[in-house]
Structure 1
Amino acid sequence: MSIYILGIESSCDDTSAAVLKDRQILSNVIANQDIHKSYGGVVPELASRAHQQNIIPVVEVALQKAKIKKNQLSGIAFTRGPGLLGSLLVGTSFAKAFALGLNVPIIEVNHLKAHILAHFVETRPGSRHPDFPFLCLTVSGGHTQIVRVNSPSDMQILGKTIDDAAGEAFDKAAKIMGLPYPGGPQIDKLAAQGNPDAFTFPEPKIQGLNYSFSGLKTSFLYLVRDGLKKDEGFIEKNKADLAASYQATLIRVLLGKLRRAARETGIRQVAIAGGVSANSGIRRKLTQMAEKERWEVFIPEFQFTTDNAAMIAIAGYFKYLDGDFASQDLAPYARGGFQ
């Protein structure tokens, strides 16, 4: 008998609902919040209000696109954390109420684990997915970490950022250059037109498999500041080269640690996940590195790179198989790693 899981994602500024039939995706609906662009970043209070407006219609559309009735659902999976607490409360509260009304179990999902497990969503018959164990570089606006994935329920963080995330480093550089929010995709677009060797940035020397990006952000700020002192048009004249050089440095740092992790563990199946995994430079360099290192590499479809409910649903599916259900009295958490 097939298992139907409704996934709900509301950790930041996207309201999303998805339906899976076992591991097969039937729908994945996302409502974006454009209001944050004028503020140059996500405003938590505005995000939670928008979630309240969007969550019911988004779930309705997801069920309609999946062509199933709500009473066919086997369980409701939802993001418990980490994320913006107000946004998480909206998704958590809806999931509890909806599951209670349908008399089906609720399944709490860790947002970071869900990004990794998105590789197991089947979009077509015979979809490729990693075998266990594999390594996953999870890179987003809030997190950067290398994870050894032994099973859907057994994940070990081998390395992580000790300060800022890589995605935040991309956005900060974009803001310094006066690029619109979100800045990461803008940097990626400009980098394709620039010279990655035009400017040099110091690469952080952190022992082990941990990362640090605060120093890189500061060096970029100082370079631009000094350039503007000499020429008011420095940014405009060098925009593409600045983006290309900065992005190339970030990618070297990210993939250098990933290569070290693969060599130390002997694992040759390597994946990436998270919003920054949509970056074209990272995808290209990872593919090149995979050829040299003889890895089998897994790069997610673009629809699974940003926050989405399909990844929540697949994480919920694996928990459903294990009978790992949540209670109605749990609360979301804003911070923390794997829980």
Structure 2
Amino acid sequence: MPVILGIESSCDETSAAVCVDGKILSNVIANQTIHAAYGGVVPELASRVHQQNIIPAVQQALHNAKVSKNDIDAVAFTRGPGLLGSLLVGVSFAKAFALAQNLPLIQVNHMQGHILAHFIDEPRPQFPFLCLTVSGGHTQIVLVKDYFDMEIIGQTTDDAAGEALDKTSKILGLPYPGGPMIDKYARQGNPDAFAFPEPNIPGLDFSFSGLKTAIMYFIRDNVAADPDFMQNRMADICASVEKRVVTILLNKLKKAALQYGIKDIALAGGVSANTDLRQGLTALGQEMGWNTFIPQFQYCTDNAAMIAIAGYYKFLKNDFVGQDIAPLARMPF
């Protein structure tokens, strides 16, 4: 009955979780509010706050799971990808904890962790399945053949979907974090109010830079004609932008499912918390006869539960690393 301590610090959430025999008993996430004043994550500030949060988060995770540090069998940590300074805090803590307790270390790819969040709760997808993994830094369609046998079959050639939403939020003057603010306003707007272009990208890859530029020019031209345009039409703008981003994602996902003949379809990553995307995947799944899988909200954004569950499956394979391991800002999938 292995007990795994999971550590996640890839961006601006400091998280610790405990997994016992494949079951998540605690998942503590400490958010960083300091970045709101800057309209985005400031890497140096993020790493400093991680240093403040890491020990209390681990202590709380152990307390919530009702285990002690002496019960831990291995420490799983996010090695990358992510902000190097933030990763360094989590990796250093994991190495120190493991060294002090004489425990093995387990490295986890952050994006694979998002996908393996689907194995925290029932129902679970069956191999092989497709996973649309969408975050502020990544947009991928992944063919998941086994727990750690994954192949990226489509990905963004420029900006990620989450980045497009965040940049749109900045253009509109909305507060940080941008994606959730777009989602909030979109709930009150008409998604058909404005038509934004869908890029013509061959294959299963994505592109969002052109959409981002089109939105910028759309706002510029309409504000020039009516200075109150954004204030008066904020909800409609957000709803229309969100609809276009979601349709781009789902159209490619549908194409991939048909191409590979796969019926188990999953959603992961921070943008999987988006209301329209969750509802859109569910509706498309019903239309296509898919089995669709969407994690709980707490397992969508960056969290240590997904790192702990990934660590559990690696523990079963004795897939450990040494104390010479270092974080990777860009980590091969």
> Under TM normalisation by the shorter chain, which class is it?
over 0.9
Specify the SS of the correspondent of 1:300.
coil
- Report matched runs for 1:129-168 at 5 Å: 129-168=124-163
Unaligned runs of at least 5 residues, structure 2: none
Match of 2:266 among 262, 266, 271: 271
State the Cα RMSD in Å: 0.7
CA distance in 2, matches of 1:337, 1:242: 37
Q: Which amino acid aligns with 1:312?
A: I
Match of 1:301 among 296, 309, 316: 296
Offset, 1:336: 3.8
Specify the SS of the correspondent of 1:227.
helix
CA distance in 1, matches of 2:278, 2:85: 33
Match of 1:187 among 179, 182, 191: 182
Residue matched to 1:176: 171
CA distance in 1, matches of 2:49, 2:187: 34
CA distance in 2, matches of 1:194, 1:91: 40
CA distance in 2, matches of 1:38, 1:76: 34
CA distance in 1, matches of 2:40, 2:257: 35
Deviations 1:108-153 (A, max 9, x none): 000000000001113xxxx211111110000000000000001111
Residue matched to 2:22: 23
Question: Is 1:255 paired with 2:254?
Answer: no
CA distance in 2, matches of 1:217, 1:336: 26
Q: Which amino acid aligns with 2:51?
A: Q
Offset, 1:190: 1.1
Q: Which amino acid aligns with 1:175?
A: K
CA distance in 1, matches of 2:232, 2:265: 38
Specify the SS of the correspondent of 1:15.
strand
Q: Which amino acid aligns with 2:234?
A: K
Point out the more displaced range, 71-80 or 184-193. 184-193
Q: Which amino acid aligns with 2:7?
A: I
Offset, 1:177: 0.6
Contact 2:109 2:331 in 1 (8 A): no
Residue matched to 1:235: 230
Q: Which amino acid aligns with 1:68?
A: V
TM-score normalised by L of structure 1: 0.97
CA distance in 1, matches of 2:287, 2:281: 10
Offset, 1:337: 4.1
Question: Is 1:54 paired with 2:53?
Answer: yes
Q: Which amino acid aligns with 1:209?
A: L
Question: Is 1:6 paired with 2:5?
Answer: yes
Deviations 1:26-71 (A, max 9, x none): 1000111100001000000010001111111110111011101111
TM-score normalised by L of structure 2: 0.99
Q: Which amino acid aligns with 1:224?
A: I
Give the 3 Å change call, closer, same or farther, for CA 313–169 of structure 1 in structure 2.
Answer: same
Contact 2:265 2:290 in 1 (8 A): yes
Q: Which amino acid aligns with 1:61?
A: Q
| Aligned-residue identity in percent | 63
CA distance in 2, matches of 1:253, 1:337: 25
Unaligned runs of at least 5 residues, structure 1: none
CA distance in 2, matches of 1:88, 1:270: 30
Question: Is 1:117 paired with 2:82?
Answer: no
Match of 2:241 among 243, 246, 271: 246
Point out the more displaced range, 8-17 or 185-194. 185-194
Specify the SS of the correspondent of 1:254.
helix
Residue matched to 1:34: 33
CA distance in 2, matches of 1:335, 1:174: 26
Structure 1's consecutive aligned runs of 4 or more residues displaced over 3 angstroms after TM superposition are none
CA distance in 2, matches of 1:309, 1:48: 17
Contact 1:112 1:337 in 2 (8 A): no
